[in-house]
Amino acid sequence: MQDLKVTKCLTPDSNGHPGNGRGSQGGEGANAAPSDLITIIRNNIENKPCLNGKHLVNVIGYQNMQINIQSFRRLAKKSLNKYFGKSVLYSNIDYESNFDEYKTLQWRSEAKEFYSPRPRILSTVAGLLNYLQNNKYFSMDLETDMRLNFQSVVLDTGTRDGYLIDVLESIGFNNVVGIEFLNDYVDYAKTKQRNVCLGDVHDIPFDDETFDLIVCRHVLEHTIDPIKVLSELTRVGVKGSIIFISFPLEYIPKGKHTIAIPTTKAITKLIKDSYINVKIVYLGASEDLYIIPDGKEITIILEKIA
């Protein structure tokens, strides 16, 4: 993408409110209430795909202000964070009453979804196991008394084609299952002999206290009731189980991403609001840990309290 010149940027006004780049002469964003800001931003940005597949943000009303969406987020982050930092943002559409629409929205038909090997998943697994091993949760040696080993019962939620199951099995885990709520992915996974069954992460089709390790990689942002999802992920874990969750850090729900979790504070608040009996053992916005990100990604590791 060519370098685009930013001629104006969003800066907080003198009252500390997120500004709209028009100074304090009463532009509509200048003193906006937090909830209105979402609308203002939505109404003022227009995503235009450009040749290399990235998106440009065209801020309407500002001549020549076209910036790369990443730069826009960086510019907007400081001002938005002040208001959006602690809360998850939900889509305007009531997907609970339009569940078929929600399912259709989540469907991706592109063959690229099934590319293999998938370096991001490999790096997630490597990083997770490394973390668990270093923190004395996991041992490859069955004789060592740690809560996780190769015989642990593992659930991968929203597993898509079940690739992560293959990875875990190839390392030595022998009791891994995935759930996925789109039939076509389940059917595809089965052709690869992957242990995947149909199931919604809002209502996981397993008994309480079934799993030792629960993985929810890049699924939470696709859900419509993340509090329900968190309580389901916790319900199916045994006491002392580990729940691994990761998702992209985003400011606005969009497309398949039915919710946006803008900060580590927001996920902490969500966990608190879920009243789940867990302790956070790791929380980070991880460009540095073990994920190869598209942008910033949040990783959270929970332990179900015994």
Ligand X SMILES: C[S@@+](CC[C@H](N)C(=O)[O-])C[C@H]1O[C@@H](n2cnc3c(N)ncnc32)[C@H](O)[C@@H]1O
Of the pair 36, 101, the CB lying nearest ligand X is at 101
> What letter does residue 222 receive in the DSSP assignment?
G
226: contact with ligand X by CB under 6 A: no
d(CA 178, CA 205): 11
Dist CA 46 CA 41 (whole Å): 9
Classify strands 297-304 and 278-285 as parallel, antiparallel or unpaired. antiparallel
Decide: 248 and 294 in contact? Cβ < 8 Å: yes
Kindly determine how many residues on this chain lie close enough to bind ligand X according to the rule CB under 6 A.
17
* Window 148 to 177, contacts with ligand X (CB under 6 A): 158-160
The H or E element that residue 298 is part of is strand 297-304
> Least distance from C-beta 178 to ligand X, angstroms?
8
Q: What are phi and psi of 223, to 5 degrees?
A: -95, 170
Residues 185-224 close enough to bind ligand X by CB under 6 A? 185, 200-202, 217-219, 222-223
The residue (of 77 and 222) whose beta carbon lies closer to ligand X is: 222
Question: Cβ 269 to ligand X, closest distance in Å?
Answer: 21
By CB under 6 A, tell whether 121 contacts ligand X: yes
d(CA 191, CA 194): 8
When CB distances to ligand X are compared, the closest residue is: 158
Min. distance of Cβ 164 from ligand X in angstroms? 6
Q: List residues binding ligand X (CB under 6 A).
A: 106, 121, 158-160, 180-182, 185, 200-202, 217-219, 222-223
